[in-house]
């Protein structure tokens, strides 16, 4: 459990000057444990992000940190000299022993970043301008990563967006019914099984492999408090080879509905067309120059597929007894699955119009 960590003692293991003041839980991610650590430096408080990497999920934390180090160094070189350059990329802080991570007495892996101040992340989108800024920032991230020098990045989670394998895992969880919940999710199971045919479509399209973020949730980009600009892409654990559309699809999943991912009132979950339009415009603004025609043609479809994929992952975890995503209440993963499937339905109802919009912007 995350509560058990002495984050204050861990903070002292990093090369941070000054007097340690406090460390408190931070953020709302489903995987890692994040803390905000405060140090008194030259008479003023300075804040840092301290993170425990979940090694049940990330099996090779050293490879993961190597990816993060290579990507952040590559981006830092590109934004050096730009206005606010040091706020445009995550900056790792070395541990006292000189490595980019610290292993505690129990074998847990930790890392530290400078806090990017005067910027915020949001769990739900509030305006088309926010959607535009988020998509532009994630597109820019892909663009700047495109010439990352060899070797290929490590796959921190193999087959992370392999939707057919995610579907197979769901079928196995249904068959096993490990905690007897299948009967409580019969409608969701039926919904999922009826859509098996879409699972292989992106993989079968022979799209170009790129360096992608793979977890482009709206709360994984920081928006500048003063200007609203998407100033920094964060949460780099899943940066690895992937398809550009995994990233765009997850933007549609997390940045078109006004509702939270675990909203229980499903009437609030809907794919808002103006948000989709803002995402397309923002993403093409930064990524349009390198995307292929095939990729552009599947922007709307990717939103449906990735929303479906994360929905079946939540359903699988519900059926397996909540072993992967952090849950905070009974039925939490089922609630999350339901919002995703509601959003899939909303996309299905608007998919042709979404496709026509992309075509019209392309002309």
In terms of CB distance, is 219 or 255 closer to ligand ADP?
Answer: 219
Residues 6+ apart with CB under 8 A from 82: 88
Residues 6+ apart with CB under 8 A from 343: 253, 256, 257, 269, 270, 271, 307, 311
CB 234 within 8 A of CB 26: no
DSSP state of 210: E
Strand partners, 95: 14
> Nearest approach, Cβ of 219 to Mg ion (angstroms)?
6
Binding mask 125-144 for Mg ion (x = CB under 5 A): --------------------
Exactly one of 7, 29, 148, 161 binds Mg ion (CB under 5 A); which one?
29
Say how many C-beta atoms besides its own lie within 10 A of residue 266's C-beta: 15
CB 143 within 8 A of CB 290: yes
Contact segment (CB under 6 A) with ligand ADP among 24-32, 129-137, 271-279, 316-324 equals 24-32
Exactly one of 212, 219, 254, 346 binds ligand ADP (CB under 6 A); which one?
219
Exactly one of 229, 235, 317, 322 binds ligand ADP (CB under 6 A); which one?
235
Q: Is 34 in the site for ligand ADP (CB under 6 A)?
A: yes
Binding mask 35-74 for ligand ADP (x = CB under 6 A): --------------x-------------------------
Exactly one of 30, 87, 332, 342 binds ligand GN1 (CB under 6 A); which one?
30
CB 258 within 8 A of CB 268: yes
Using DSSP, state whether 120 is helix, strand or coil: strand
CB 113 within 8 A of CB 49: yes
Binding mask 86-125 for ligand ADP (x = CB under 6 A): ----x----------------------x-xx----x----
Contact segment (CB under 6 A) with ligand GN1 among 91-99, 115-123, 215-223, 276-284 equals 215-223
Whole-Å CA distances, 297 to 128, 185, 322, 343: 22, 34, 36, 20
Give the number of residues in contact with ligand GN1, rule: CB under 6 A. 12
Q: Look at residue 90 and give the partner it binds from ligand ADP, Mg ion, ligand GN1, none, a contact being a CB closer than 5 to 8 Å depending on partner kind.
A: ligand ADP
Q: Is 263 in the site for ligand ADP (CB under 6 A)?
A: no
In terms of CB distance, is 57 or 184 closer to ligand ADP?
Answer: 57
CB 153 within 8 A of CB 241: yes
Burial class (CB in 10 A: 0-12, 13-18, 19+), 203: middle
In terms of CB distance, is 29 or 280 closer to ligand ADP?
Answer: 29
- Distance CA(340)–CA(344), nearest Å, equals 6
The residue at minimum Cβ distance from ligand ADP is: 29
- Distance CA(251)–CA(135), nearest Å, equals 7
Exactly one of 238, 255, 257, 350 binds ligand GN1 (CB under 6 A); which one?
238
In terms of CB distance, is 212 or 238 closer to ligand GN1?
Answer: 238
Say how many C-beta atoms besides its own lie within 10 A of residue 99's C-beta: 13
Q: Which of 61, 68, 91, 67 is nearest to 79 (CA)?
A: 91
Output the six-digit token pair for 332.
């939490």
- Distance CA(230)–CA(223), nearest Å, equals 4
- Distance CA(38)–CA(29), nearest Å, equals 20
Exactly one of 14, 23, 32, 261 binds ligand ADP (CB under 6 A); which one?
32
> Nearest approach, Cβ of 201 to ligand ADP (angstroms)?
28
Residues of this chain that bind Mg ion (CB under 5 A): 29, 220, 235
Residues that bind ligand GN1 in the complex, under the rule CB under 6 A: 29-31, 57, 215, 217, 220, 235, 237-238, 261, 310
The residues binding ligand ADP (CB under 6 A) are 26-27, 29, 31-32, 34, 49, 90, 113, 115-116, 121, 219-220, 222, 234-235
């Amino acid at each position: 459990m995350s509560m058990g960590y002495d984050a204050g003692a861990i903070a002292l293991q990093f090369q941070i000057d000054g007097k340690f003041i406090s460390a408190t839980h931070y953020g709302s991610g489903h995987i890692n444990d994040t803390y905000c650590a405060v140090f008194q430096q030259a008479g003023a408080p300075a804040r840092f992000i301290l993170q425990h990497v979940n090694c049940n999920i990330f099996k090779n934390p050293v490879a993961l940190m190597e990816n993060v180090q290579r990507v952040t160094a590559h981006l830092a070189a590109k934004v050096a000299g730009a206005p606010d350059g040091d706020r445009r990329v995550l900056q790792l802080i070395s541990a006292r022993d000189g490595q980019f991570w610290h292993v505690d007495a129990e074998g847990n892996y930790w890392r530290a970043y400078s806090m990017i101040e005067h910027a915020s992340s949001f769990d739900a989108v509030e305006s088309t301008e926010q959607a535009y800024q988020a998509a532009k920032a994630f597109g820019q991230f892909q663009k700047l990563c495109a010439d990352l020098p060899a070797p290929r990045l490590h796959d921190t989670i193999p087959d992370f967006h392999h939707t057919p394998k995610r579907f197979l895992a769901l079928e196995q969880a249904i068959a096993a019914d490990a905690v007897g919940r299948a009967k409580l999710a019969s409608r969701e199971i039926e919904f999922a099984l009826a859509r098996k045919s879409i699972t292989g479509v992106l993989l079968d399209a022979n799209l170009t492999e790129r360096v992608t973020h793979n977890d482009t949730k709206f709360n994984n980009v920081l928006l500048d408090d003063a200007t609203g600009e998407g100033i920094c892409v964060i949460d780099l654990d899943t940066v690895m080879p992937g398809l550009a559309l995994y990233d765009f699809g997850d933007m549609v999943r997390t940045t078109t509905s006004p509702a939270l991912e675990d909203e229980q009132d499903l009437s609030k979950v809907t794919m808002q067309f103006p948000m989709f339009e803002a995402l397309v415009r923002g993403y093409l603004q930064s990524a349009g120059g390198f995307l292929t025609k095939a990729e552009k043609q599947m922007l709307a479809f990717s939103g449906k597929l990735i929303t479906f994929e994360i929905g079946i992952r939540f359903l699988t975890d519900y059926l397996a007894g909540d072993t992967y995503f952090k849950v905070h209440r009974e039925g939490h993963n089922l609630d999350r699955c339901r919002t995703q499937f509601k959003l899939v339905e909303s996309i299905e109802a608007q998919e042709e119009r979404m496709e026509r919009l992309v075509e019209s912007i392309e002309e």
